[in-house]
Amino acid sequence: MDAFTMVIMACVAGEAKCTTARISEMDFITAQACEARIDDITRSMTKEFAKRPEFKGRQVTYDVSCMDPTQLAQKFGISSSDT
């Protein structure tokens, strides 16, 4: 089981709802390993948003957290079997 899971919330200016994603990788054995992937993942998400013409010129903000299973359970009610 992964030691840490990255939870990303991406909000596009003017949109009522934000996009969320939960990413677990075997390399996320420390918070630092999880955090090291943030730029790569958010860059990829930004490129995907840019492909949507209705988002052209809008700002995207990200809220990214790297959490261990205990932190996930406390914050979101996610059990280890969900990850």
User: pLDDT tens across 64-77, in order?
Assistant: 999 988 888 888 77
Quick: pLDDT tens for 14-61.
999 999 998 888 888 888 888 888 888 999 999 999 999 999 889 999
Domain contains 51: yes
pLDDT of residue 2: 59
Q: How many structural domains is the chain composed of?
A: 1
pTM of the predicted structure, to 2 decimals: 0.73
Domain contains 52: yes
pLDDT of residue 33: 87
Domain contains 83: no
CB under 8 Å to 75, separation ≥6 — which residues?
65, 67
The domain of 31 spans: 5-76
